[in-house]
Amino acid sequence: MTPSADSLGALVPGPQPDIAGSAVGPLAGVTFAAKDIFDVEGFVTGCGNPDWQKAHGPAKAHAWAVAKLLAAGARLTAKVITDEFAYSLNGQNFHYGTPTNSNAPGRVCGGSSCGSASAVAGGLVDIALGSDTGGSVRVPASFCGLWGLRPTHGAIPLDGVMSLAPSYDTVGWFARDGAMLGRAGAALLPPDRPGPDFKRLLLAEDAWALAWPDVREVLAPEVTRLEQRLAPAERVVVGEPGGGLEAWMLRFRAIQAWEIRRSVGPWVFANKPRLGPEIQERFDWVASFPESEAEAAQKQRPAFTRQLESLLGDDGLLAIPSAPGAAPFANTPDDQLRAWRLQVLSLTAIAGLSGLPQVSIPLGRVESAPVGLSLIAPRGRDRALLAFAQRFAPAAP
């Protein structure tokens, strides 16, 4: 694929890969894109920042996930834009622009896997690799009307992927339908740990309270269908112990900030690359963040994980909105986007802090734009989660 073929603004500038996969693999004939934090042999991994790109040479090997999809027969045809250093949920890159959201014109794709979501929604590729640290697959999936998976933390090796916050970073991916999402999962995911069929449905009341009223309304019939498949929903509060979801979101950010200070932070602080205003503000905040707050949050984190795992048991699924509402418009003022990001993070931090798998399913529209319903499963039950989601919503758009 050449840049001239990109009508969506999703591709990174410069030459594009065209790397054939195995001719006989289960994904033969499938095309895929890689977010520009994944190494592709012979190409510079740009991480959304031109100064970083100039300072680094071509990758010497494919990232693990790229190699796995190629071995399964998929063809890599695109490297796609990311928000700078994968540190945003907006889907707007100061240097390279804002990829098109084909399913919600005029609105952002969400980030940081914005190019990945744009390329799949716009039909450039069948699958796109993204990363999910604070919601960077789940949020764009909801905003763009796609299927997206954040797997169990640690399930997929991060070899050859830029590190942002290692205790949160995961490799995820997008597809236009559940069957294709599952086919990619068959190539990427390890075998599930043994467990019973899902039998219980949990509704996180504090998570649903964060959603717009029309989001709750449009997804209510889907929750009813889930109850018909499983059992009457158990209404739970997941923000306990230790405060509500906003408090846990702040702890999520504290841990993330401290990990960024040890991953890409040292390079950014030493080299002072040109950053977009939003990203510059965020790295300035990281540089001055007190270690004591991060240490306190890290000590409190296991309590949140134990609480959530206790609620789910071995056979439960937790249903939450993938995002509070539809994608913001591309011209939304910065102060509104900052407030929106904190609201979104209050939802996405649930799986982020606990490391549990979460699939986002496109099951509604509000204000003529997509919204997703998410299911969170017990640890290590990623394949079972994908299989259940496909059976539940085989015709989801």
Task: Render pLDDT for 115-164 as a digit per residue (tens, 0 to 9).
Answer: 999 999 999 999 999 999 999 999 999 999 999 999 999 999 999 999 99
Domain 1-397 top-level CATH class: alpha beta
Spatial distance between the Cα atoms of 108 and 45, rounded to a whole number of angstroms: 23
**Which residues have a catalytic role annotated?**
35, 112, 136
Q: Are strands 316-321 and 369-376 parallel, antiparallel or unpaired?
A: antiparallel
For residue 5, the model assigns a pLDDT of: 61
Output the six-digit token pair for 304: 């949140």
Spatial distance between the Cα atoms of 148 and 128, rounded to a whole number of angstroms: 10
Residue indicated by tokens 């989660």: 385
Residue 3 predicted with pLDDT over 60 = no
Residues 6+ apart with CB under 8 A from 341: 88, 89, 90
Spatial distance between the Cα atoms of 75 and 373, rounded to a whole number of angstroms: 30
Mapped onto helix, strand or coil, the DSSP state of residue 38 is: strand
Type of residue numbered 292: S
Q: Tell me if 361 sits within 8 A of 312, measured CB to CB.
A: no
Sign of CA dihedral 184, 1, 362, 99: positive
Q: Looking at residue 368, what DSSP letter applies? A: T
Spatial distance between the Cα atoms of 196 and 168, rounded to a whole number of angstroms: 27
Output the six-digit token pair for 33: 């894109």
Mapped onto helix, strand or coil, the DSSP state of residue 362 is: strand
Give the 3-state secondary structure percentages of the chain, helix then strand then coil, rounded to 5. 40, 15, 45
Residue 392 predicted with pLDDT over 90 = yes
Per-domain boundaries in the chain: 1-397
pLDDT tens digits, 175-218: 999 999 999 999 999 999 999 999 999 999 999 999 999 999 99
For residue 397, the model assigns a pLDDT of: 57
pLDDT tens digits, 266-293: 999 999 999 999 999 999 999 999 999 9
Confidence of residue 394 (pLDDT cuts 50, 70, 90): confident
